[in-house]
Structure formats: structure tokens, C-alpha cells
Amino acid sequence: MKKNLSVAELQNSEWPKLFEEALGDNLVSAFVHGDCLMEGFSALEAPWTVSFILKSNSVEDMLPLQKLTQKAKYDNIQFNHVFSRFEIKSSQDVFPLEFLHIKSKNITLCGETPLADFSPNLAELRIECERELRGLLVHLRRAFLYIKEDRHPHGIYVRSQPTLLPLLYGVYFLATGNYPESHEQVYEMFPDVRIPNATSDKNVIVSNINKYIEAVTAIVNQVDAMKV
């Protein structure tokens, strides 16, 4: 497997040209985004995530990309979303947080900068953040019920953080008007959701999980009370 170990290597690889040749005039933008642009990412352990904006994303118009999936896998690239311009315009009220992430953290491989003119509707962003945070709380409480059966109870934090952190980026934006520069900046605003040190003490495990769920609950209440 060929490893592109940096964004610069990916930009200077054959892939931008492959996308342009495969998609032609239908291509609006091909860009890297998601967890692979966040701190802690290692291309030795996970793939680069590439998404697309096309003039048309019908099944027929996506066929050229389908022909590239095997080569992409070999080169440690994973295709993610395939949007159309119309779909982005008509879905901004449904996915304001996802589009905020794309706008704020992306590297263009070819075509236009994605969502350059996007600005989330704050009321819609608040609703999405609250809804997803409340859903996370439901899963956290259920996970706690079965924590005695978990050989690695610390996993409750490890499993929840990939869901929680992107939501907190949205809450941070709602509170400050700025997109966070790092996870640490988010943790500085919400210190009680930092993952605690692992322990085998059952009383400490329960206490830590209780504090964690209480911290998420407090954030939900904060978001619920926001006037935007």
C-alpha cells in the first residue's frame, strides 16, 4: 500500500489529475476533510478522507468515481460524501454542523474551495447540536447500565469522544462565533469532559462516569438555553 504521509504529498500526487480526468466538467470540488485533518491523525493508521461536490451526483454521474475506489483503497484514500451543488444549498438547514466542519477544516485537491460562502444559521445549528447531544446522553446512560460487563470500562469515554468532540466544536462556535483551532481549545471551555485517567477502582470508575455524564448534561442545558 502506498502511503501519502502528508496533505502536501496528497496534493502533489496523481490524484487531483485522476479526479479531473474522471469527472471532467461535472467536477466542482474534490477536497480532504474530517478526522484526517484533526490533531492526532496518522496516515500510517487511518485513511485520508476525500469528498466531492459535483454539478450532478446521480448514480450515472458517480460511476467514474466508483471505478477509482480500489486504487484509492490501495493508496490509503477513502471516498466519503458526494454532494451536488443543489443538495448543499437545500440541505443547509439539516446539516449546519457538518457543513460548518467542512467549511472550517478542508484542503482542496482540485476545483473550488468547498462551501466558501457558507455561514450556518445559528438557530438551526443550535437545534442540531442539542438534538445530537441529547442522543449521546441516551447512549451514555445505556452504556453505564452495562459497564460491569465491560472488561474495559474506560472505553465508554473512548467510544463517546468521536461523537462528542465534533458536537462541542459546534457549541464552541455558537458560544464564541469562532471555530476552535484545536481539541485543547474545546477542552479549555469544557474541562469536565476530558477523559479521566484509567483506574481499576470500581468506586472511582462510577464517580468518573457520573461526572462525565453530568458534564455533558450541563452542556446540553447550556445549548438549550442559548438565545440565537
- Residue 5 pLDDT greater than 90, yes or no: no
d(CA 29, CA 191): 37
Residue-level length of the chain: 228
Spatial neighbors of 43 by CB under 8 A, at least 6 apart, are 3, 4, 5, 6, 36, 76
Residues 6+ apart with CB under 8 A from 48: 4, 10, 32, 36, 76, 77, 78
Distance in angstroms (rounded) separating the CA atoms of residues 204 and 207: 5
pLDDT band at 224 (very low <50, low <70, confident <90, very high): very high
The one-letter amino acid at 178: N
Calculate mean pLDDT across residues 175-192: 96
What proportion of the chain, given as a percentage, has pLDDT over 90? Answer: 85
**With contact defined as beta carbons under 8 Å apart, do 150 and 156 qualify?**
yes
Give the amino acid at 129: C
Q: Which class for 152: exposed (0-12), middle (13-18), buried (19 or more C-beta within 10 A)?
A: exposed
Nearest to 100 by CA among 165, 30, 178, 163: 178
The answer, yes or no, to whether residue 1 has pLDDT greater than 60, is: no
Say what percent of the chain tops pLDDT 70.
Answer: 99
Residue 147 has pLDDT above 90, yes or no: no
Exposed e or buried b per residue across 162-200, where buried means at least 16 C-beta atoms within 10 angstroms of its C-beta: eebbbbbbbbbbbeeeeebeebeebbeebeebbeeeeee
Q: Is the pLDDT of residue 149 over 80?
A: no
Which is more confident, 140 or 146?
A: 140
CB 38 within 8 Å of CB 112: no
Tens of pLDDT, residue by residue over 188-200, are 999 999 999 998 8
Mean pLDDT value across the chain? 94
pLDDT tens across 75-119, in order?
999 999 999 999 999 999 999 999 999 999 999 999 999 999 999
Task: Look up cell 476525500; give the residue.
Answer: 50
103 vs 158 pLDDT, higher one: 103
Is 124's pLDDT higher than 60? Answer: yes
